[in-house]
Amino acid sequence: MSDKKATLKIDGMDAAIELPIYSGTLGPDVVDVGSLTGKGMFTYDPGFVSTAACESQITYIDGGQGVLLHRGYPIDQLAEQSDYLETCFLLLYGELPTRAEKEEFVRTVHNHTMVHEQIRTFFNGFRRDAHPMAIMCGVVGALSAFYHDSLEISEERDRQVAAFRLIAKMPTLAAMSYKFSIGQPFMYPDNTLSYAENFLHMMFGNPCEPSTISPVLAKAMDRIFLLHADHEQNASTSTVRLAGSSGANPFACIAAGIAALWGPSHGGANEAVLKMLEEIGDVSRIDEFVARAKDKDDPFRLMGFGHRVYKNFDPRAKVMKEAADDVLAELGIENDPLLAIAKRLEEIALHDEYFIEKKLYPNVDFYSGIILKAIGIPTSMFTVIFAVGRTVGWIAHWHEMISGSYRIGRPRQLYTGHQQRDYVPLDKR
């Protein structure tokens, strides 16, 4: 905190209002405006562009410098040297695990990878062509109906069990959503495999033959999960925090986060990027689409570009771009046409006055779809993959809030509706 103050002078008010200013470890100071309601005023910040909704120690983003730290560790170092479950431990507990802690954490996650056998029947309620995100919203919320023994959120033990259950079961449910959509039998988890290997086993394995998991694809999958693990107070994480602030159980909160993530402006962008690249179809058509993205009268946006916080490269996009090159090369996919279009599109956009002036750079979703497609993940599953990776971030923020002192989130508004008026009976209208 700090002893700095902001002084707000408001027309018509004699006395200026003194507002405390707090400083964090990194990043901008914040002005505590909590006392304004008592002065008959609200702040106004649609989209929360300039609003810090909470204090947190989990992730720090410097949008100007393109920096992303998880508990102080840069994302590029974690992507290069760590793995997803180790990063989960870091996000949840604040420190990198010792070897023994890591082994225990992995073992505990393995003990929760199966879902209750009755959950399998939930899938039969969906049409085969249901979007997998629609299924995930439903089945993850339904977990509340099965795990009554870990819903007492005031108990640390319950919070821990719910966290392990969600981190461990999301890949299982995600793979079930895919298998259901193609009419293949669900695959049980194989706990002799790593987290990413197990996911690929459940996605692409079948009961008729042993799974052969490519270590290249497993490494790429693990890195994709890691790069999506957390990202400060983004829309879906803020949704989880708001849902959790009412005391809702963690499974319902994560289902709310999945719903928020689905939008094309957020986690749905990775699916939209692939569709956009396929619609562009050839580098010769890029200029046409860039022109459309710049046209105020055209709702088309360059999907995978721009970010509320990053006004420089999204560091995850950089790692993803390198990984795309590696994965395609290791798979012997030469000259992937979509990657060629993506790279050319990035090059053109980054030299275009409009994108430079608006500081629009590729974000995490721009290259991820190229890798997911190379791994064999269908486009409709891209946002589900994002949700699997982000579950630990949602849970870490939920846990950070619930373990501390918190109040129910209840924003106010600028009301511009009718003044009070009397009811008019039907025969007088």
Residues near ligand SDX (CB under 6 A): 47, 231, 234, 265-267, 269, 293, 301-309, 358, 360, 363-365
Q: How far is the CB of 42 from ligand SDX (least distance, A)?
A: 21
**24 with 18: CB under 8 angstroms?**
no
Looking at beta carbons, which pairs linking 235-238 to residues 24 or more positions away fall under 8 Å? Answer: 235/260, 235/261, 235/263, 235/265, 235/266, 236/260, 236/261, 236/266, 236/267, 236/390, 236/394, 237/390, 237/393, 237/394, 237/397, 238/48, 238/53
Between 308 and 344, CB nearer to ligand SDX = 308
Between 86 and 314, CB nearer to ligand SDX = 314
Q: How far is the CB of 300 from ligand SDX (least distance, A)?
A: 8
The CA-CA-CA angle for residues 130, 141, 192, to 5°, reads 85
How far is residue 289's CA from residue 293's CA, in Å, rounded to a whole number?
Answer: 6
Q: How far is the CB of 121 from ligand SDX (least distance, A)?
A: 33
Task: Classify residue 37 as exposed, middle or buried by CB count within 10 Å of its CB (0-12, 13-18, 19+).
Answer: exposed
How far is residue 395's CA from residue 92's CA, in Å, rounded to a whole number?
Answer: 8
The CB density around residue 358, as the number of other CB atoms within 10 Å, is 13
| Cβ neighbours of residue 424 closer than 8 Å, sequence gap 6 or more | none
Instruction: Transcribe 176-212 into DSSP letters.
Output: HHHHHHHTPPPPPP-TTS-HHHHHHHHHH-BTTB---
- Residue 307 catalytic? yes
Catalytic residue among 314, 365, 397, 399: 365
**228 with 204: CB under 8 angstroms?**
no
Between 123 and 305, CB nearer to ligand SDX = 305
Q: Which residues does residue 59 pair with via DSSP β-bridges, in sequence order?
A: 70
Between 102 and 294, CB nearer to ligand SDX = 294
Q: How far is the CB of 303 from ligand SDX (least distance, A)?
A: 5
What is the CA 426 to chain-centroid distance, rounded? 49
**224 with 387: CB under 8 angstroms?**
no
Catalytic residue among 70, 201, 231, 266: 266
Alpha helices in 94-155 (DSSP H): 99-110, 119-123, 132-142
Q: How far is the CB of 57 from ligand SDX (least distance, A)?
A: 17
Residue 277: φ, ψ to 5°:
-65, -40
Q: How far is the CB of 176 from ligand SDX (least distance, A)?
A: 24
Between 118 and 265, CB nearer to ligand SDX = 265
Between 307 and 321, CB nearer to ligand SDX = 307
Between 252 and 364, CB nearer to ligand SDX = 364
- Residue 266 catalytic? yes
Encoding tokens for residue 311? 């006004």
**91 with 392: CB under 8 angstroms?**
yes
Between 131 and 201, CB nearer to ligand SDX = 131
Question: How many angstroms separate the Cα of 327 from the Cα of each of 35, 216, 228, 330, 339?
Answer: 53, 7, 18, 5, 12
Catalytic residue among 231, 307, 397, 399: 307
Shortest-Cβ-distance residue relative to ligand SDX? 306
Alpha helices in 19-83 (DSSP H): 75-81
Q: How far is the CB of 180 from ligand SDX (least distance, A)?
A: 26
Q: How far is the CB of 276 from ligand SDX (least distance, A)?
A: 10
Q: What positions carry a catalytic annotation?
A: 266, 307, 365
